Chain A
Amino acid sequence: MTATITTDAVTTAPGRASKPPRRRRGRSVPHLLLIPAVLILLVGMGYPLVWQAVTSLQEFGIAQQFGKPAPFVGIDNYVSLATDPDMWAVVGRSLVFCLVTAAVTLAIGILLAVLMTAVGRAARLTLQISLLLAWAMPVVAAMTVWIWLFDRRRGVVNYLLDMIPGVDMNRFSWLSNPLTFFLVASIIVVWMSVPFVAFSVYAGLTQVSDEVLEAAQLDGASGWQRLRFVIMPMIRPVIAIVLLLQLIWDLRVFTQITMLQDAGSKAGEFDLLGTYIYKLGAGAQDFGMASAVSIFVLALTLAISWFYVRSLLKEDAQS
């Protein structure tokens, strides 16, 4: 199964510090190996990053885009962000959305991975193919289908829910209310992200040595105990990196939200950080503020992934 392989990568990724790299001669070799990656990062990301940092300290609107000099305003943009209640509402909403969505994605992904190990080959293959198809759906295509499914009048979701006796969901407008809007957004993001998590964790589980499990079983550990005390610790590294990625992705989710807004509402209560930045920049043409928010999001992402960064720093400190 294709996707399964992901796992190796993920399983081992985070804490690999353990093994002190052995080769110390040829000092220039590692630097040579890094050159292509560093170059492409400098070329592709370096200038935009610097531009963003500089612009966040300027008043930069459409006139500046057409050649007017941009006045340097120091941290004014940051100050007006910090004092803007709308901004904090967006930040709060994004954090909740990100944490809830990432947690649900992980929970379902892990459960599906465990389920794959517990069922027969046919059932497992069915599940894997289904997840693979969902994973292969291009985002724009997937969003189109989902919006269609949740359509107020012609959507299958309302049609099916309405058939349940006592439930009146005819014409229920999912996308008009922030709560149901983000529920739908979350369902869609979870649907898209679970395959990656499930395959990664499943592959992690296939690496758990049978001997260890048998030993645990002989010692009288129940299925739950084996999962809790033997398996979970072993797949912890996979889970750590998968969680990190989900947090990064879900915090700045953009395409899904913006397409849902096109179908639902463009009002501020429906914004997450990604769409907020886009509205400030491409919409209101206030590129200075948009850059300031971007830098802030960078800092915020770093903060919520601190658990991971710390382990990284520790790893380095050992050298």
Chain B
Amino acid sequence: MSATTIPAVAEERTAPAIDAPDRPRSTKLRLRPKVRAGRVLLSVLAVVIAIVWVFPVYWMVNSSLLPNRQLQSFIPTFFPIGGSLDNYGNALADGSFFTALGVSLSITLIVVFFCLLFAFLASVAISRFRFRGRASFVLAVLIVQMLPAEGLFIAQYKMISSAGLLNSIVGVSIIYTAAVVPFTIWMLRGFVAGIPAELEEAAMVDGLSRSQAFMRITFPLLAPGLVASGVFAFLQAWNEFTVALVLLPSEQMHTLPLWLRGFIQASATRETDWGQVMAASTLVAVPVIVFFLIVQGRMTSGLVSGAVKG
């Protein structure tokens, strides 16, 4: 992969990206009419791939509706006929799901907010300004996210514990934000750079101050970038589990992945109840799907309708 070609390509790409919002375009690779029959075949292929891809998700939901006895059988049950929501009732019975949901949501929202804020400021700095230490900063950010986290737990524990932040949402959020912010900077940096400063300058000619111009012109154009980076930060914070294990030892502070793991680990005297595990897994996945749907609503609100229209 030759690095030298990249700038040229990027240059070329700038134009369409910017006019995008006010110029509806077809997004398809134009196909010649005679290829149209092939298109039906491709559509079938797409649907088949979709089914294969979604199968594990389906299997989770399907299993969550079946009694454990049926799951233990050597012959799989492909449709939850005669299934029930009892597994969900059991998984939710002691209320610990909602405690964990609260903890997970708090941590995730804090992380998403601060990641976006910090990364936004930093990405403006590195893509709108030229200053000493700029490349060093970018490189440091890159390196930091390459460090494997599996060996860090002792150090993280010592640090958070000596600050008195063990078992607190703040402590974990600090570690997560630090872990996710580098990538968020990477993503946003591209977005900020993709919005030409000329737009702001034009607005300033029209009498806006620089910060006004930035807020009114650049910031809205940045929304898709913020959402994309936010989705990433959300998934990272939502899924993380090794750091949480060590930094949130108290059961009241368990996040959803820890809560879910509690179901999976069969103890010496209890065997894993797979139906309940699948129900619990589904419960953990639902908030993410809801989040995706909410964000998608924001998306289609016209900001980028041209550029990323379906």
Residues of A within 8 A of B (CB): 1-24, 27, 29-31, 33-34, 36-38, 40-41, 43-45, 47-49, 51-52, 55, 65, 112, 114-142, 144-146, 148-149, 153-154, 156, 159, 191, 194, 203, 205-210, 213-214, 217, 223, 226-227, 231, 233-234, 236-237, 240-241, 243, 245, 248, 252, 254-255, 273-275, 277-278, 280-282, 287, 290-291, 293-294, 297-298, 301-302, 305, 307-316, 319
Judging by beta carbons under 8 Å apart, are A134 and B46 in contact? no
A interface footprint on B290-307 (CB within 8 Å = 1, 0 otherwise): 001001100100001001
Interface CB pairs A-B, < 8 A, 10: A12-B193, A18-B11, A45-B179, A49-B147, A135-B235, A138-B281, A154-B76, A159-B74, A241-B190, A294-B152
Measured CA separation A159–B13 after assembly (Å): 49
Measured CA separation A2–B290 after assembly (Å): 12
B143: chain A residues at CB < 8 Å are: 298, 302
Judging by beta carbons under 8 Å apart, are A65 and B46 in contact? no
Judging by beta carbons under 8 Å apart, are A141 and B134 in contact? no
Judging by beta carbons under 8 Å apart, are A52 and B150 in contact? no
Judging by beta carbons under 8 Å apart, are B239 and A138 in contact? yes
Judging by beta carbons under 8 Å apart, are A27 and B9 in contact? no
Q: Does B105 contact A (CB under 8 A)?
A: no
B11: chain A residues at CB < 8 Å are: 18
Measured CA separation A49–B75 after assembly (Å): 50
Judging by beta carbons under 8 Å apart, are B135 and A123 in contact? no
Judging by beta carbons under 8 Å apart, are A2 and B292 in contact? yes
Q: Does B202 contact A (CB under 8 A)?
A: no
Within 8 A of A (CB), among B240-257: 241-242, 256-257
Contacts A22-B197, A47-B155, A226-B29 given; 14 further ones with Cβ under 8 A?
Answer: A3-B292, A8-B17, A36-B121, A123-B42, A140-B264, A141-B281, A144-B281, A145-B60, A207-B17, A240-B1, A254-B242, A277-B148, A282-B153, A319-B134
B142: chain A residues at CB < 8 Å are: 305, 308-309, 312
Q: Does B216 contact A (CB under 8 A)?
A: no
How many chain B residues sit at the interface, stated as a range, is 35 or more
Judging by beta carbons under 8 Å apart, are A52 and B15 in contact? no
**A37-B118 contact given A118-B31, A233-B5, CB 8 Å threshold:** yes
Q: Does B100 contact A (CB under 8 A)?
A: no
A208: chain B residues at CB < 8 Å are: 16
Q: Does B144 contact A (CB under 8 A)?
A: yes
Q: Does B37 contact A (CB under 8 A)?
A: no
Measured CA separation A297–B121 after assembly (Å): 30
Measured CA separation A13–B177 after assembly (Å): 21
**A14-B6 contact given A5-B224, A43-B174, CB 8 Å threshold:** yes
A135: chain B residues at CB < 8 Å are: 235
Judging by beta carbons under 8 Å apart, are B228 and A6 in contact? yes
Measured CA separation A290–B153 after assembly (Å): 11
**A30-B126 contact given A12-B13, A316-B134, CB 8 Å threshold:** yes
A41: chain B residues at CB < 8 Å are: 140-141, 144, 178, 181-182
Measured CA separation A194–B56 after assembly (Å): 14
Q: Does B67 contact A (CB under 8 A)?
A: no
Measured CA separation A135–B292 after assembly (Å): 10
Q: Does B194 contact A (CB under 8 A)?
A: yes
B122: chain A residues at CB < 8 Å are: 33-34, 36-37
CB distance from A269 to the nearest CB of B (A): 19
A interface footprint on B66-87 (CB within 8 Å = 1, 0 otherwise): 0000011111100000000000
**A148-B17 contact given A33-B121, A223-B31, A312-B142, CB 8 Å threshold:** no
Most buried by A among B6, B130, B242, B277: B6
Judging by beta carbons under 8 Å apart, are B54 and A130 in contact? yes
A interface footprint on B275-293 (CB within 8 Å = 1, 0 otherwise): 0011011101100110010
Judging by beta carbons under 8 Å apart, are B51 and A273 in contact? no
A298: chain B residues at CB < 8 Å are: 143, 146-148
Contact of A134 among B44, B57, B126, B179 (CB under 8 A): B57
**A316-B189 contact given A5-B225, A15-B9, A47-B155, CB 8 Å threshold:** no
CB distance from B98 to the nearest CB of A (A): 17
CB distance from B129 to the nearest CB of A (A): 4
Judging by beta carbons under 8 Å apart, are A4 and B128 in contact? no
**A18-B10 contact given A24-B130, A138-B260, A319-B134, CB 8 Å threshold:** yes
